[in-house]
Structure 1
Amino acid sequence: MTRRILAAVALACALATLALGLVYAGGRSPGPLDVVPTAGLGHGLLSALVLPTEPYVLLPAIAVIAGTCLYRRRPADALLAVLSPAIAVALTTWVLKPLFDREKDATLVYPSGHTVSLVAVLVVLVLLARRKTAAAAFGVVLLACATAGLTGLGYHYLTDVAGGTFFGTAVVTGLRAVTPRRAPARSAG
């Protein structure tokens, strides 16, 4: 993707995060978009669906992505893989959640930090993958499963997950847009 496209995606997603957050700022009650039908899914299955959002799953994934980038002599990509999720989660936790002040069970929930961390890693994976369509399809399925788990267990409203998706995407695409990339090496043959 070109820097302009990445910057446009980052801006659009940041604005979507802001707009959705303003609708539900200050702890407003859930809206019609927050109802997700997960009644038929048991607690064990819902807990399993949330696993990809957990740090003990995401941190090794980040390490593998960064390690692969370093092995391929792509240090800027390794840095993106490590810093993007860290920056996204830090901004979510210390800036956005207090700013929007949406609570559920006395916990700040907008945007979903679980979702921000998962989406940040997935967007990095899509940007760096050779088979982008397959990586994107994998990401969509994983995000749909995590959404069912997060909402079904009552951790988040659907709009929290949507806000987390927008913000995780905004951070990674924004950082990728401003990250210098070296040109591919020319063939000697």
Structure 2
Amino acid sequence: MRTIRVPAAVCGLLALLLGLPFAGGTTPGALDRSADAAVARLSPGVLRALVFPTEPAVVVALGLLAVFLCLRAGRKADAGLALGAPLLAVLLTGLLLKPLYDRWKNDTLVYPSGHTVSLVAVLTVLVLVTRRVFVAVLGGLALLAATAGLVGLGYHYLTDVVGGTLFAVAVVLLTWSVPRPEPARSAG
């Protein structure tokens, strides 16, 4: 699992650096303005549907699915990480990064996107648990949909979503790279 430490560190560093130009401000960057324009034609109903994957009920259900899959496979340590890694990412985002970057939109701290951190952390765990390409593809599609919804509804700038994605991946990969005991092999 040491091989995931390098991409984890790169994602974490990029997340931290991406927010620096926007710290303490409310002004969108050029990329943010382009993203706003790209989704401006979508109706509010479509945008609400697109943001659905970030709803707490969906994120919790996906997280519980990851825990269940780990427990079913006899991987108790992984089940603990499947639960703990997303929680850690969300807590660090809300308690540390958002106040540190102090980026505002509509009277709310927005960098990095907590909606995105929760979704991406759970999706990253699911990819690590299942090791299935189709899970990664479905997760990527859910993230793209949520990004359009979050930007289109004015909840976040695109850079908030990208920063949240990078940070969530970093936290989950760093947490997942912690050494843990191998499950006991079945004798039967």
Extract structure 1 runs of 4+ deviating beyond 6 A.
none
Counterpart-to-counterpart distance in 1, 2:138 and 2:187: 33
- Per-residue displacement from partner, 1:28-80 (whole Å, max 9, x unpaired)? 51111113111221111110111111111111221122122112211111111
Q: How does 1:9-158 map to 2 (within 5 A)?
A: 9-35=7-33, 36=35, 37-131=38-132, 133-158=133-158
TM-score by length of 2: 0.93
Aligned length: 185
Residue type of the partner of 1:120? A
Percent identity between matched residues is 51
**Counterpart of 1:11 in 2: which secondary structure?**
helix
Residue type of the partner of 1:19? L
**Counterpart of 2:49 in 1: which secondary structure?**
helix
Alignment gaps of 5+ in structure 1: none
- Per-residue displacement from partner, 1:92-150 (whole Å, max 9, x unpaired)? 0000000000000110000000000000011001111142x211111111100000000
Q: Is the 8 A contact 2:69 2:129 kept in 1?
A: no
The alignment's C-alpha RMSD in Å is 1.6
Counterpart-to-counterpart distance in 1, 2:175 and 2:97: 18
TM-score by length of 1: 0.92
17-26 vs 111-120, which deviates more? 17-26
How far is 1:87 from its partner? Answer: 0.5
For residue 171 of structure 1, what is the aligned residue in structure 2?
171
**Counterpart of 2:31 in 1: which secondary structure?**
helix
How far is 1:181 from its partner? Answer: 4.4
Q: Is the 8 A contact 1:76 1:179 kept in 2?
A: no
Counterpart-to-counterpart distance in 1, 2:5 and 2:43: 41
- Compared CA separation, residues 183 and 71, structure 1 to 2 (3 A): closer
